[in-house]
Structure 1
Amino acid sequence: MKPVFVLLVSTAWTFTGAQYYYQGLMDYLENRLLAIEDRMLLWHDQSHRYHTELLDFKKLTAGAMDGLRNQHSVMFKDLEGAAVRVDRVEREMDYVETQTSPRACANKADKVVEQGPWRLKESRGEDEGEEEEEDWEELHSTVSDCVEIISGIRSVKILKRVGSPKGMWTRDPRSSEVYVFNGTSGDNLYQFGSVRDFSRSPGVTGSRHIRLPSDWRGAGSTVYDGYLYYIQQEDDTDVQVVKYDLLTGSVTDAAMFPVESHATVYNLNPETVADLAADDEGLWLLYAPSDSEPNIHLAKMDRASLDIEQIWDTRCPRENAEAAFVVCGTVYVVYNTRLASRSRIQCLFDVNDMVISEEAPLIYFPRRYGAHASLKYNPEEKQLYAWDDGYQIIYRLNMKTKLLV
């Protein structure tokens, strides 16, 4: 009887201990659930506060964006108005420029440094005993029979953009061929059948690639009647003018030119040692005799033999000059600033002394991309072929007759 009682007591204690254990476990779980609920309530409160703050911030930013849009609209309208006013001012400036003579007036032909040719004076019954030097007189013949001068820029056409920021392109006045010189030196050039062919070509593909027997230097080359005239100069050597037959692919003549190897004709384009220009009146060379010479000099050369016929000091300064070209015996020097602005023809020189300052307007080129690396005049078309920061541009010119003085 006693063992049964002990077993019943042990079992009762076991059930009581298990009850206390499960009760403690339930209390622990309940406490953990309460803690989780408290944290969920806290997270809900915080998320609600963050959501409210986000809505307030959204309203604030929306108001600020509306204000910015309004200010942008007002600024855009102001800029449009300013652009209209700038265009009007530029048109008025262009008109004023066509009515204003250049600050650097035309120079007289009495500034000839070297002049020729010479001829024997005809006998007029003078005594044969006179000194021999009296039998000779200087021949002051007219260099050019052309009597046209530029009066303004009629239109501008931006053809395309090919190659380096600096280069030269031109059209042969006696044919439709177009020639492209990319960069400031090399032995390659590209020939196109016409301006239209060049404008339609992607890059220089589709062109005739010509490799010259020697390197050209600078943007001073020119083409006339199937011949290429270019400047050749190696490091620390003399300047040489080379005549190249584009049909046969051979050099027909070359001539050394007496200039210092480190002198450049244009201060803003130091890569151009000398600049060649050809028209119906002959071949012209713009150059600087030395680096210390402040002015641009002009030489007239024979197209066939490359002999120097006459030399002038144009009195046009090299400082801030970017390019120049020759029209009917008149040199037009184009100036700019080192921070490229509007190019302008500020100095001109007429070898025939037929241009007076009152009829020579100060011409501004339309503002484009940078500064001209080259300007080549075509006498048949009355237009300029320009290279401006890699863009190929055509300027069509208005011409008028020179006043005979």
Structure 2
Amino acid sequence: RRVSATFMEMLLICLECSTTVRPKDGWQVFSSAQDADGRCICTVVAPEQSLCSRDSKGRQLRQLLEKVQNMSQSIEVLNLRTQRDFQYIMKMESQIKGLRSKFRQIESEKKTPVTRNFQELKGKMESLQPLIPVLEQYKTDTKLIAQFKEEVRNLSGVLMGIQEEMGAYDYEELQQRVLSLENRLRNCMSKLTCGKLMKITGPLTVKTSGTRFGAWMTDSLASSKNNRVWYMDSYTNNKIVKEFKSISDFVSGVESRTYNLPFKWAGTNHVVYNGSLYYNKMQSNILVHYSFETGRVVTQRALESAGFHNVYPYTWGGFSDIDLMADEIGLWVVYATNQNAGNVVISQLNPDTLQILQTWNTEYSKRNAGESFMICGTLYITNSHLTGAKVYYAYSTKTSTYEYTDIPFHNQYFHMSMLDYNARDRALYGWNNGHQVLFNVTLFHIIKTEDDS
């Protein structure tokens, strides 16, 4: 059940690791943790938000039931008042009919002279004749009110039965159970900080907007209550960043703020990290650190020897020479240099000063890379930006070693111009030919349990 306003609700399911996890259709993030002996610790599953709609239906049902009950009370008051008036009208109707009968009797006997007063009284009596059909209609309306009252009573009973069947009265109890489950999840996730990429599934299409190329992102260091989205359309000649308070506002197109950057950006490989935007200044190898809070540049620094302006771009071009990214470990930049023969270079950055903390040279050609992203200090590189692409190469900064991989992913809209990992959401954000998409990632973990020596 959906009971919190986090980016996506989590469920913890402990099961045998030999069991294949088959979540329902939709975007769901899951990770399996094993100890050194291969025993399953837990599997984390995040369901698609639209699947958790029972609460909304329950609230609608309760609101409908309240309205019916309010209507029933109003009808009861109207009915009591109507019954009182009805008794008075019945008495009046009887009197009118009795008087009419007496007048007819007097006129037929003609034993007594008809006085002037009698004629006036008869005239008034005749003027009341049109009231008789009105009284008849009033009696009919009274019957309809009684019938309506009974129908509302029956409807109220049906709604209460549905409510009980849905378990709406257990909502508070279920909410507490889910909150307890989320606490267990956080305890488990604290042990699953890093892992090896095993699988990419999806995508989920969040929105279709903008040009063929662009970037969209959330802040991986933001709190669970902060789900702001930033949107940067196109790969060149633009410096307007749009901000949305949530994913739902982003989908609806409800902007909360826009930022006019001091410099235009190059490429689509920007990143928001700890409340700041990091991007490559157009037609340069300068990195820019821009604070959303102050609306000013904190610092800018040249990335020495880095190629720029389509010297060493990804396969799709678009001035994608310099790629800024973040993961569980920190802030990174991926680029290429002449000194490394145009092959990919990885550098970890100081987020405040943009100084390089450490650098790794790989043997993978930057121009042959479709896109790349960092997960837990490992750079994963795709072999193309087109259909049929897969994660082909992985370089670990922890061990300074690489391996060739074969992890396919569905390039649904045929042209990927942005692919970036978000450690908080455990998901890949993509810009797929004018579509903003999300990919689910599965990470493999080996952790120690308390009974391990």
The answer, yes or no, to whether TM exceeds 0.5 is: yes
Q: 2:294 aligns with which of 248, 254, 271?
A: 248
The residue aligned with 1:190 is: 242
Quick one: distance in 2 between partners of 1:291 and 1:187? 31
Give the alignment of 1:214-225 within 5 angstroms.
214-225=263-274
Quick one: distance in 2 between partners of 1:261 and 1:354? 25
- Runs of 5+ unmatched residues, structure 2: 1-191, 449-453
Using the TM superposition, give the Cα deviation of residue 388 of structure 1 relative to its aligned residue in structure 2, in angstroms: 0.7
The residue aligned with 2:278 is: 229
The residue aligned with 2:333 is: 285
The 8 Å contact of residues 268 and 320 in structure 1, kept in 2 or not, is answered as no
Quick one: distance in 1 between partners of 2:278 and 2:263? 12
Task: Tell me the amino acid that sits aligned with residue 407 of structure 2.
Answer: I
Task: Tell me the amino acid that sits aligned with residue 307 of structure 2.
Answer: E
The 8 Å contact of residues 277 and 376 in structure 1, kept in 2 or not, is answered as yes
1:356 to 1:270, Cα distance in 2 relative to 1, 3 A = closer
The residue aligned with 1:385 is: 429
The residue aligned with 1:155 is: 202
Larger radius of gyration: 1
The 8 Å contact of residues 332 and 345 in structure 1, kept in 2 or not, is answered as yes
The residue aligned with 1:334 is: 382
The 8 Å contact of residues 286 and 300 in structure 2, kept in 1 or not, is answered as yes
Q: CA RMSD in A?
A: 2.4
User: Higher relative contact order by CA 8 Å / sep ≥ 6: 1 or 2?
Assistant: 1
Structure with the higher strand share, 1 or 2: 1
The 8 Å contact of residues 215 and 232 in structure 1, kept in 2 or not, is answered as yes
Q: Write the deviation string for residues 227-279 of structure 1: whole angstroms up to 9, x where unpaired.
A: 10010133xxx411111110110111111111234422413234212000023
The question of 1:325 aligning with 2:373 is answered: yes
The question of 1:309 aligning with 2:361 is answered: no
Q: Write the deviation string for residues 331-381 of structure 1: whole angstroms up to 9, x where unpaired.
A: 0111226xx322210011000128875xx7511111411221011111011
Using the TM superposition, give the Cα deviation of residue 210 of structure 1 relative to its aligned residue in structure 2, in angstroms: 1.1
Quick one: distance in 2 between partners of 1:213 and 1:356? 38
Quick one: distance in 1 between partners of 2:199 and 2:308? 36
The residue aligned with 1:165 is: 212
Quick one: distance in 1 between partners of 2:286 and 2:434? 27
1:207 to 1:293, Cα distance in 2 relative to 1, 3 A = farther
Q: 1:208 aligns with which of 239, 247, 257?
A: 257
The 8 Å contact of residues 147 and 402 in structure 1, kept in 2 or not, is answered as no
Quick one: distance in 1 between partners of 2:337 and 2:400? 26
Quick one: distance in 2 between partners of 1:314 and 1:403? 28
The residue aligned with 1:177 is: 228
Q: TM-score, normalised by structure 1?
A: 0.58
Q: Write the deviation string for residues 88-140 of structure 1: whole angstroms up to 9, x where unpaired.
A: xxxxxxxxxxxxxxxxxxxxxxxxxxxxxxxxxxxxxxxxxxxxxxxxxxxxx
Quick one: distance in 1 between partners of 2:437 and 2:421? 12
Task: Tell me the amino acid that sits aligned with residue 430 of structure 2.
Answer: A
The 8 Å contact of residues 335 and 366 in structure 2, kept in 1 or not, is answered as no
Task: Tell me the amino acid that sits aligned with residue 387 of structure 2.
Answer: S
Q: 2:348 aligns with which of 297, 300, 316?
A: 300
Quick one: distance in 2 between partners of 1:356 and 1:318? 15
Q: 1:344 aligns with which of 374, 384, 390?
A: 390
Using the TM superposition, give the Cα deviation of residue 315 of structure 1 relative to its aligned residue in structure 2, in angstroms: 1.8
The 8 Å contact of residues 371 and 384 in structure 2, kept in 1 or not, is answered as no
Quick one: distance in 2 between partners of 1:402 and 1:255? 38
The 8 Å contact of residues 285 and 299 in structure 1, kept in 2 or not, is answered as yes
1:351 to 1:291, Cα distance in 2 relative to 1, 3 A = closer
Quick one: distance in 2 between partners of 1:146 and 1:353? 18
1:368 to 1:280, Cα distance in 2 relative to 1, 3 A = same
1:278 to 1:379, Cα distance in 2 relative to 1, 3 A = same
The 8 Å contact of residues 321 and 333 in structure 1, kept in 2 or not, is answered as yes
Quick one: distance in 2 between partners of 1:151 and 1:260? 32
Quick one: distance in 2 between partners of 1:172 and 1:244? 14
Quick one: distance in 1 between partners of 2:360 and 2:447? 21
The 8 Å contact of residues 394 and 405 in structure 2, kept in 1 or not, is answered as no
The question of 1:199 aligning with 2:251 is answered: yes
Quick one: distance in 1 between partners of 2:281 and 2:379? 23
**Alignment coverage as a number of residue pairs:** 250
The 8 Å contact of residues 266 and 272 in structure 1, kept in 2 or not, is answered as yes
The 8 Å contact of residues 316 and 348 in structure 1, kept in 2 or not, is answered as no
Q: Comparing 303-312 with 264-273, which one deviates more in the overlay?
A: 264-273
Quick one: distance in 2 between partners of 1:267 and 1:155? 22
Task: Tell me the amino acid that sits aligned with residue 376 of structure 1.
Answer: D
Quick one: distance in 1 between partners of 2:363 and 2:383? 14
Give the alignment of 1:46-57 within 5 angstroms.
none
Give the alignment of 1:88-167 within 5 angstroms.
147-167=194-214
Quick one: distance in 1 between partners of 2:374 and 2:413? 24
The 8 Å contact of residues 308 and 322 in structure 2, kept in 1 or not, is answered as no
Quick one: distance in 2 between partners of 1:403 and 1:323? 30
Task: Tell me the amino acid that sits aligned with residue 199 of structure 2.
Answer: G
Task: Tell me the amino acid that sits aligned with residue 231 of structure 1.
Answer: N
Q: 1:239 aligns with which of 272, 280, 285?
A: 285
